[in-house]
Amino acid sequence: MLTLLMGAAFAALAYRLIDLQVLRYDELSAKARGNTIREFLLEPRRGDILDAKGNLLATSVFVKTVCADPMLIGPRAAEVARAVAPLLQMSEAELQERLKPRLTRNEQGVLTTNRYVVLKRKVQLETWQQIQAVMTNLSFGLDEKKLSRAERAFYRGLRRAGVYAEPVDDQLRVYPNHALAAHVLGYVGMSEREIDGRRHLETSGKDGLERVFDSKLAGVRGWRVTETDRPGREVVSLRKQNVEPHDGYNLVLTLDSVAQHIVESALAEAMEKYSPVSISGLVVRPRTGGILAMATLPNFDPNNPGAAVPDARRNRIITDVTEPGSTFKIVVVSGALNDRVVQLSDSFDCENGRFHFAGRVLHDHKPYGVLSVENIIAKSSNIGAAKIGIKLKEDRLYDYIRDFGFGARTSLSLPGEVSGIVHPVKNWSKVSIVQIPMGHGMAATGLQMTMAMCALANKGVLMRPMLVDRLEDRDHNVITKYPPQRVRQVISEAAARQMIQALKAVVLPGGTAPEAALEHYTVAGKTGTAQKSGGPSGYLPGKYFASFIGFFPADEPEVCISIMLDEPKHGYYGGQVAAPVFKQIAERLAGYLNINPEDGETLPGTGAVTVSLDNRTFKTAAARSQ
């Protein structure tokens, strides 16, 4: 009997082993792997964004997602909450509520536990290390030496795995200079993705350069296939695959942090002084199209873009269009000079400020008589510009408008740029030929108008504006270099020189912008004052768009500066509100960029300079840029 019983027992055991190891091997081995083998996606480090001198504008730091196992913490939720809540900057009551064990039924009606609860995301590594130290030394007011072996094991497990971090780190995008160049940099957003049954955050660009160059900055993911123990910790010796991620490339801009700070500071002062709806500034190298500074106020902090209203996040220099007003006169006059329809010395009767044409009356801001072409620019005569437009004729005026880049996007590497409004000649009214030369009846962006002025400064050559100089890897090896791009020769070099001669007169006494004149440099520029259009209802009384666009030194231009104010409250002429801001920025940039004075003087503060911004020091070697 005993022999039979022993034989039956061994036979049953043998059958069970055959069932587990042979008959159900595939099923059970897959189940075992599912319990212990985990596959993790390894996020690459997002590339940095640097200014032209290597100063950090945007970077990424790895952060933790802190989780808890309420079923393991059990009745000790109050003690754990009391210890961890201050480090997570959460209320103790809220944390204790999250740590309570719960039983729920899933869609299949099966009871499940809350073994996995996210306490907080984006926790800095230093904070996570403090949490680990607190949990390791957490005391429950017990003499654990007197506890049973099982009870001691419970407290060891609670301290080790009750509060833990996700195995895969998330990233936090950081903008060290806060709002500086926010509209250029843009910002990132976080999206959730389920990996191995758990949700993880992914970073992607949502606006600005972060969005346009997202694929270059993001890098390539890696992955890891490994085994974990019961608490979910990796057993490194059993790691099966480990493919390291490829970090994203760094983006090096043409933008200069110090020039950007100079512009933003001057705009902030003008915002307070003139109380416009918005104010924008742009600094461009005419020879290359490289943008040194691009700013719009009000702005926002890309570290927390949700705290700003949508209008503050809009880059008005490329997204808003307006009738440019008198700055647009450079198009009709330069075209007429290029076609040799007029000379600078030619005279036009400006009708003492009232010109009847096609049943409409055009006005000048002052009653002018006979003016030369040069003085039409210097004094910004609407009637004079209109008569030059009539002489140039509709088709040629339209050609020059398009050749200067109006009615088409500049292809700047920022999202949201619009093309402006330029109607074909067949849709022009009878008065379009006199309205358009004075900057009405069409609309342009601030960037388009600035690049048109840069074309005059660059011997008649229109350049494509550029913000990105190159892509680099983590070791600063150049991956892609973006050279300056010539668009077209709009007017001849001779015509450009004549236009510069006329634009110099704008800042002289008797011109519309003497407040833009510099002591050591000759400035060439143009004012603009346009009443804002209200659509079919006509123009809005008392609402103006004021601007000044100029470059210096006039005959060998280094920088072109554009200042635009939307609905200034205390004065509205471009020469009155925009020209002084131009002068303030130009004086500071001249010293910083070490631009040689035309009168041979040595400017104070030229050469190497140190600039402090938000308690950070920037590299500012002031070698003259070619």
- List CB contacts of 77: < 8 A, sequence separation 6 or more: 70, 96, 99, 100
pLDDT above 90 (res 224) = no
pLDDT above 80 (res 228) = no
pLDDT of 603: 56
CA distances in angstroms from 244 to 216, 225, 241, 248, listed in the order given: 17, 12, 10, 13
54: tokens are: 């290597």
pLDDT above 80 (res 540) = yes
pLDDT of 140: 79
Token look-up 């993911």 returns 221
Q: Among 79-83, 373-377, 586-590, 619-623, which stretch is predicted with the lowest mean pLDDT?
A: 619-623
Q: Among 83-87, 220-224, 457-461, which stretch is predicted with the lowest mean pLDDT?
A: 220-224
CA distances in angstroms from 124 to 85, 303, 496, 598, listed in the order given: 15, 15, 56, 53
Using DSSP's 3-state secondary structure scheme, residue 232 falls into: coil
pLDDT above 90 (res 538) = no
State the average pLDDT over residues 272-284: 95
Torsion of CA 454, 459, 464, 468, to 10 degrees: -80
What is the amino acid identity at position 63? V
State the average pLDDT over residues 186-207: 71
Which among 160, 165, 158 has a CA at the least distance from the CA of 88? Answer: 165
d(CA 124, CA 62): 7
Which among 231, 306, 290 has a CA at the least distance from the CA of 256? Answer: 290
pLDDT top residue among 147 and 513: 513
389: tokens are: 């437009």
State the average pLDDT over residues 22-37: 69
Q: What domains does the chain contain, in order, with CATH numbers?
A: 39-253 (3.90.1310.10), 257-618 (3.40.710.10)
319: tokens are: 């997204």
pTM metric for this prediction: 0.81
- List CB contacts of 545: < 8 A, sequence separation 6 or more: 322, 323, 324, 325, 528, 529, 530, 532, 564, 565, 566, 567
State the average pLDDT over residues 441-464: 95
The pLDDT-based confidence of 465 (bands split at 50, 70, 90) is very high
pLDDT above 60 (res 625) = no
Average pLDDT over all residues of the chain: 86
The pLDDT-based confidence of 252 (bands split at 50, 70, 90) is very high
pLDDT of 164: 86
Long-range CB contacts (< 8 A, 24+ apart) of 198-201?
198/116, 198/166, 199/118, 200/41, 200/65, 200/166, 200/168, 200/170, 201/65, 201/121, 201/170, 201/171
pLDDT above 60 (res 623) = no
pLDDT above 90 (res 19) = no
The pLDDT-based confidence of 396 (bands split at 50, 70, 90) is very high
State the average pLDDT over residues 266-283: 95
pLDDT above 80 (res 243) = no
Using DSSP's 3-state secondary structure scheme, residue 120 falls into: strand
State the average pLDDT over residues 5-13: 91
State the average pLDDT over residues 560-574: 93
3-state secondary structure 490-557: CCCHHHHHHHHHHHHHHHCCCCCCHHHCCCCCCCEEEEEEEEEECHHHCEEEEEEEEEEEEEECCCCC
Segment of 56-65, 376-385, 610-619 carrying the highest mean pLDDT: 376-385
| Residue 328 · residue 449 · CB < 8 Å | yes
Token look-up 């081995």 returns 29
The pLDDT-based confidence of 626 (bands split at 50, 70, 90) is very low
Crossing angle of helices 149-161 and 125-136, in 10° steps, is 170
State the average pLDDT over residues 593-600: 83
Token look-up 């209200």 returns 534
pLDDT of 602: 59
pLDDT above 70 (res 608) = no
State the average pLDDT over residues 399-417: 94
Q: Among 249-258, 493-502, 534-543, which stretch is predicted with the lowest mean pLDDT?
A: 534-543
pLDDT of 72: 84
Helix (H) or strand (E) holding 1: none
Q: Among 110-114, 297-301, 335-339, which stretch is predicted with the lowest mean pLDDT?
A: 110-114
Q: Among 105-109, 183-187, 259-263, 540-544, which stretch is predicted with the lowest mean pLDDT?
A: 105-109
pLDDT top residue among 429 and 598: 429
pLDDT above 90 (res 231) = no
State the average pLDDT over residues 6-11: 91
pLDDT above 60 (res 614) = no
The pLDDT-based confidence of 459 (bands split at 50, 70, 90) is very high
